[in-house]
Amino acid sequence: MVFKVFISHSINDLDIVNSLYSVLRQSGMDVYAAVFSPEPGKHVSEKILEGMKSSDCVLLLLTHDSVLSQWVQNEIGMALAYNKIIIPIVKKNVKIPNILEGLEYIKFDSSKPFKTIDYIREYFLHLKTSKEKRVQGLGLAALFFGLILVASSSEKNSKS
């Protein structure tokens, strides 16, 4: 079971995005960032919508540039509309958009970027493991109910 992460970011934050993208992919996650998924001839908004819909959660990188980006604002709206888990990563002195007030976030410490990125990796591995356990539980429940249906069907057929 693949865990899919959508990275919402400003084009001006590619140094951080590249690190996050690499670390999460190396940890076995499917990571979407429009900048790393070129599809010439396809409209960017269509690509972003597809990436958002197929994601399990959104990693929202909030920096001085991204809070001013209309694309990031649109992605926040999409994430909320599709009920995606939003994990904000907030750089120092950046105000969280009002629509996300009260949402817990991860502080991005520019003086210790690898420590922060490692924490993010660990947190997303936890989310991935939680999803896998939920899916396994649903699979076992479906198997159990399937066996009950087969058993009850067999019982009805033997009485006829």
pLDDT tier at 118 (50, 70, 90 boundaries)? confident
Q: Which domains does the chain have, with CATH numbers?
A: 4-135 (3.40.50.10140)
Write the single-letter amino acid at 20: L
Q: What is the pLDDT of residues 8-42, one digit of tens each?
A: 999 999 999 999 999 999 988 899 998 888 888 99
Residue from 123, 128, 119, 108 nearest 16 by CA: 108
Q: In the predicted model, is pLDDT for residue 135 greater than 80?
A: no
Count other C-beta atoms under 10 Å from residue 34's C-beta.
Answer: 19
pLDDT at 141 over 60: no
State how far the Cα of 123 lies from the Cα of 24, in Å rounded to an integer: 10
Tally of CB atoms within 10 A around 47: 15
Q: Tell whether the model's pLDDT for residue 139 goes beyond 80.
A: no
d(C-alpha 128, C-alpha 94), whole Å: 28
